[in-house]
Amino acid sequence: MRIAVAVGTRPEVIKLAPVIAELRGRPGWETVLVATGQHRQLLDQALATFDLRPDLDLDLMTPDQSLPDLTSRVLSSMTDALTRTRPSLLVVQGDTTTVLASTLAAFYLGIPVAHVEAGLRSADVRRPFPEEANRRLTSVLAAVHFAPTEWARARLLDDNVAAERIAVTGNTVVDAALGFRRAHERAGAPSRNGTRRILVTCHRRENWGEGLRNICGAVRRLVALFEDVEVVFPVHLNPQVLGPVEDCLGDTPRVRLLPPLDYAALMAELARATLVLTDSGGIQEEAPTFGTPVLVLRDATERPEACAAGVARVVGTGTDGIVRAAAALLSDPRAHASMVASSNPFGDGRAAWRIVRALERWTEGERPLLLPGEEFEPNVEAPLTA
């Protein structure tokens, strides 16, 4: 049983590293890790964090790459890689250009695709762009769908995916985050006493331009309003993000602009932060593991489980709205406590085991993919109330 695993970006590595480890523990199964290099530097950083080395590195990133150009190069190069390795199955994760183009390459070659983190949906095919379209199109072609939550399963069923091809596993990012949380706790990391810290991340295409300027303006106002608050902002290397952030915040007191952090350092910042402002999907899933409230810098989220659990809130990209929401959490301890739940609504740390268990049953022709009692069921108590 040879399984190819495709990665192109840092989030794909983070979320597939637990799966790769689980796959490599199965006797008689061979895992072939194929890297597209969609985001070269951040991909390499994540691979190093998890001590992973690609078996094939397509190294496709070019300066100022366009979506059509990147898509065509991934499709062509991945077709060649799969033709040479002839896997029994291709595993992809999430909603990147690597995911869509790799899935299409496998489809052309008659190789079944297993989609990790399947079923996420927003109400707008262009938000987030192009990720929403990528994941919807991938669902059409995938043979096996690993939904992180019951909500995601329901969206797949709405799209007429057969129930026997879906397993609810929890999100593998919680597997990864829990490992780093335990290491953080063993190290006796600094507490949140003293200066309070806001973690900010922002990179989505739909926020480039005015949205990003508004977010930076909100950061400036927050540090002016709260003298005990500092901001840590790891800035994405894309010039559409890096340039405007440096121009707007480069000289702002108590705002630390950092290069992208490796995963261990990012998890440490999440653990220390009083709250996080982000347009990242992954951080919406990771932050509840550390009890850190999330303000989502987007107009909608395809991860409504966090909002339903009370641990996240969508605030958009308007400066006033961001400042109001953050100031409420910084001013009122009860408001902050109301966004801290007892556990993570996205997973319990066993998602990778469930995925590989389901693949074992799928390869043997057994259905359902997971037996009763094996699927992920969140155990999230209501957030603390005033």
As a whole number, mean pLDDT of residues 78-94 equals 98
Confidence of residue 182 (pLDDT cuts 50, 70, 90): confident
At 190 the pLDDT is: 53
Is pTM, for the whole model, over 0.85?
A: yes
- Buried b / exposed e over 193-219, threshold 16 CB at 10 Å, is eeebbbbbbbbbbbbeeebbbbbbbbb
Least confident interval from 62-66, 90-94, 174-178, 354-358: 62-66
pLDDT for 294-347, tens place per residue? Answer: 999 999 899 999 999 999 999 999 999 999 999 999 999 999 999 997 789 999
Is residue 383 predicted with pLDDT exceeding 50? Answer: no
On the question of pLDDT at 193 being above 60, the answer is no
- Provide the pLDDT for residue 187: 62
Q: What is the pLDDT of residue 41?
A: 87
Let me know: does 155 contact 342? Beta carbons within 8 Å.
Answer: no
Q: Does residue 191 carry a pLDDT above 90? A: no
Domain 183-337 has CATH 3.40.50.2000: yes
pLDDT score at 123: 81
Residue 380 is predicted with a pLDDT of: 60
What pLDDT, on the 0 to 100 scale, is given for residue 121?
A: 95
CB 323 within 8 A of CB 222: yes
CB 322 within 8 A of CB 294: no
The rounded percent of the chain whose pLDDT value lies above 70 is 96
Q: Which two tokens stand for residue 298?
A: 């987007």
The per-residue pLDDT for 337 is 94
- Nearest to 345, CA basis, from 317, 382, 374: 382
pLDDT tens across 267-279, in order?
999 999 999 999 9
What are the extents of the domains in the chain? 2-171+348-363, 183-337
The answer to whether the CB of 36 falls within 8 A of the CB of 77 is: yes
Contact 88, 2 (CB under 8 A): yes
> Is 128 within 8 Å of 43 (Cβ atoms)?
no
Q: Is the pLDDT of residue 185 over 80?
A: no
CATH of domain 2-171+348-363: 3.40.50.2000
Going by pLDDT thresholds of 50, 70 and 90, the confidence category of residue 63 is confident
pLDDT at 17: 97
Taking residues 353-360, report their average pLDDT: 98
Tell me the average pLDDT across 215-243: 95
Token representation of residue 32: 């072939």
Provide the pLDDT for residue 386: 27
Is residue 381 predicted with pLDDT exceeding 70? no
Counted residue by residue, the chain has a size of: 386
pLDDT-derived band at 107 (thresholds 50, 70, 90) equals very high
Strand partners, 166: 145
Q: What is the pLDDT of residue 29?
A: 96
Average pLDDT over residues 344-353: 96
pLDDT classification of 189: cutoffs 50, 70, 90: low
Tell me how far apart the alpha carbons of residues 338 and 384 are, in angstroms, rounded to a whole number: 5
Structure tokens at 252: 């702002």
Confidence of residue 385 (pLDDT cuts 50, 70, 90): very low
Q: What b/e string do you get for 134-170 counting C-beta neighbours within 10 Å, with b at 16 or more?
A: bbbbbbeebebbbbbbebbbebbeeeebeeebbbbbb
Kindly list the catalytic residues.
95, 117, 131, 203, 205, 236
- If phi > 0 it is left, if psi is from -120 to 50 it is alpha, else beta; for residue 64 that is left
Q: What is the DSSP string of 356-384?
A: HHHHHHHHTT-SSSS-TTTS-----PPPP
Mean pLDDT along residues 235-245: 92
Q: What is the mean pLDDT of residues 203-227?
A: 95
Q: Residue range 53-57: average pLDDT?
A: 97
pLDDT score recorded for residue 204: 87
Average pLDDT over residues 138-147: 98
Residue 106's contacts (CB-CB under 8 Å, 6 or more residues apart) are 78, 82, 90, 112, 113, 141
Q: Are 197 and 255 in contact (CB under 8 A)?
A: no
State the average pLDDT over residues 351-357.
98
Q: Is residue 357 a contact partner of residue 370, using CB atoms and an 8 Å limit? A: yes
The average pLDDT across 230-251 equals: 94
The pLDDT assigned to 21 comes to 97
User: What count of Cα atoms within 13 Å lies in the side-chain half-sphere of residue 220?
Assistant: 15
